[in-house]
Amino acid sequence: METDIRTQLLSLAEPEYQKFAASLIPNISNVMGVRLPIIRKIAKQIAATDWRTYLDTARDDYFEEVMLQAMVIGHVQADLDELLTRIAAFVPKIDNWSVCDSFCAGLKYTKVHMDAMWSFIQPYMKSDQEYEIRFGVVMLLNFYLEEPYIHQVLPLLDQIKHEAYYVKMAVAWAISIAYIKQPQVTMPYLKHNTLDDFTYNKALQKITESYRVKPEDKQRIRGMKRKAKKQAQTLKQITS
């Protein structure tokens, strides 16, 4: 099955799109150049047939092969234990933001198993692996920025101190969406947090880029940006 699927994917690759797609994911070099809607269509077809055999034998040499597995897992129908087993087996294969974010967005059955999935995500929040943490964070921003979870999400995000770029960007993204959805809950957190300057300022930037935030609120958010030089001077005064 996997040989046939690779042949199919390669036949659908577009050289010009390959250049574009590869430029969006600079940390990998195994992009065929197959558009995501096409991969999603194939994933639905596999999910309707012998998807277990496919997942058990799938190869991971190309970006599209891994993305296809991610999308299949999002479309299959199985009991929760099997779904969690499949998710746990897939997460270590994630090595870029695109697969991570598409995978998380596709796990829509999370909405039916909110408490169980919440518990499942927690160990990933404490991982030391870049994309395991990003998986946890992106799951939170997709499904848990509403009551009652929002009050637990913000402290979880604040505890993440990993230095990897795609972790920081995910945390900033999650905080920006939290503000957009729950501004009254998120604003006190923005005023009192332990985020590093890059993540904090990036979160503010993402908030101000949203069309769902009022102009007057954007102005207020811009005024909250941390200025590194000012902070350094303050720290110098405290320690001298």
Q: Give the chain's end-to-end CA distance (angstroms, integer).
A: 68
- In the predicted model, what is the mean pLDDT of residues 75-92? 98
pTM, full prediction? 0.92
Written as six digits, the tokens of 125 are 């929040």
- Cβ within 8 Å of residue 216, ≥6 positions away: none
Q: What is the pLDDT of residue 125?
A: 97
Mean residue pLDDT across the chain: 94
Written as six digits, the tokens of 95 are 């090595």
Give the pLDDT confidence of 117-127 residue by residue, as tens digits. 999 999 999 99
Give the pLDDT confidence of 4-21 residue by residue, as tens digits. 999 999 999 999 999 999
Decide if 171 contacts 195 (C-beta within 8 A): yes
Q: How far apart are CA 38 and CA 197, in angstroms?
A: 39
Residue in 80, 75, 78, 96 with CA at minimum distance from that of residue 30: 96
Residue in 234, 186, 231, 236 with CA at minimum distance from that of residue 207: 186
Taking the domains of the chain in order of start, what are their residue ranges? 1-106, 110-227
Q: Reply yes or no on whether the pLDDT at 134 is more than 80.
A: yes
Written as six digits, the tokens of 218 are 């954007």
Q: How confident is the model at residue 1 (pLDDT cuts 50, 70, 90)?
A: low
- In the predicted model, what is the mean pLDDT of residues 41-60? 96
Q: Reply yes or no on whether the pLDDT at 237 is more than 70.
A: no
Written as six digits, the tokens of 149 are 């979870």
| Helix and strand totals (H; E) in the chain | 15, 0
- In the predicted model, what is the mean pLDDT of residues 99-111? 98
Q: Reply yes or no on whether the pLDDT at 232 is more than 80.
A: no
Decide if 95 contacts 69 (C-beta within 8 A): no
Q: What is the pLDDT of residue 227?
A: 87
Which of the listed CATH numbers 1.10.260, 1.20.120, 3.90.930, 1.25.40 matches domain 110-227?
1.25.40
User: Hey, what amino acid is at 131?
Assistant: Y
Give the pLDDT confidence of 168-195 residue by residue, as tens digits. 999 999 999 999 999 999 999 999 999 9
Q: Where are the alpha helices (DSSP H) in 91-214?
A: 97-106, 114-125, 130-143, 150-158, 165-181, 183-191, 197-208
Share of the chain above pLDDT 70, in %: 93
